Amino acid sequence: MNKLTKKFSLLLLFVSTLLMQTSVFAHGKEHHNNKPALFSGLGSEAAKVVKTFHRALQTGDEQTARDLLADDVLIFEGGRVERSAQQYASHHMKADIQYLKSLQIKPLEHQVQISGDTAVSMYRGQITGSYNSKAVDRQSMETLVLKKHKGGSWKITKIHWSG
């Protein structure tokens, strides 16, 4: 698959996700009995990588978390950007681990969609507990983009955290 095809595939995946999310507004006040699947695609290999990454950060397993990131991962959080796995591992990862280890996280929804060698994970969770003697009770949102590499392994190439 050439670069143009890969970029088009990723663009198509994002556009289809956006259309699925915004199509609700086109129906006005219509009511339907079918509810969206809050959890889907979680049996895929890409989803297993995401869950392993979450668990590694929550338990302090820096090496596993680092190994699941592409070397050139791009991470957006709080108006800042980190442009490599090395930069994240040597700076912000340690703070993320300390924060997450002291809190409880309840998944509220998680969908993983795959198109070819690209996967998108959309996650929302409720974070509660105490950090630095301050109560925490908030929702967090995460979008991860993963790419399938030679040999079939998935690596996280993009992260956007908010909330």
Which pLDDT value is given to residue 31?
58
Decide if 117 is inside a domain: yes
CATH code, domain carrying 92: 3.10.450.50
Q: How confident is the model at residue 28 (pLDDT cuts 50, 70, 90)?
A: low
Which pLDDT value is given to residue 21?
47
Structural domain containing residue 50: 38-162
DSSP 20-60: HHHGGGGGTT---SPPP-SEESTTSHHHHHHHHHHHHHHHT
Amino acid found at 159: I
What is the spatial distance between Cα 100 and Cα 60, in angstroms, rounded to a whole number?
9
Decide if 1 is inside a domain: no
The total domain count for the chain is 1
User: Which of the residue ranges 7-11, 71-75, 96-100, 132-136 would you say has the lowest mean pLDDT?
Assistant: 7-11
User: Is the pLDDT reported for residue 12 higher than 60?
Assistant: no
Decide if 22 is inside a domain: no
DSSP 103-124: EEEEEEEEEEEEETTEEEEEEE
Please name which of 161, 163, 152, 143 lies closest in space to residue 50, comparing C-alpha atoms: 143
Q: How confident is the model at residue 97 (pLDDT cuts 50, 70, 90)?
A: very high
Decide if 29 is inside a domain: no
Average pLDDT over residues 151-160: 96
Q: Which two tokens stand for residue 98?
A: 């300390």
Which pLDDT value is given to residue 119?
98
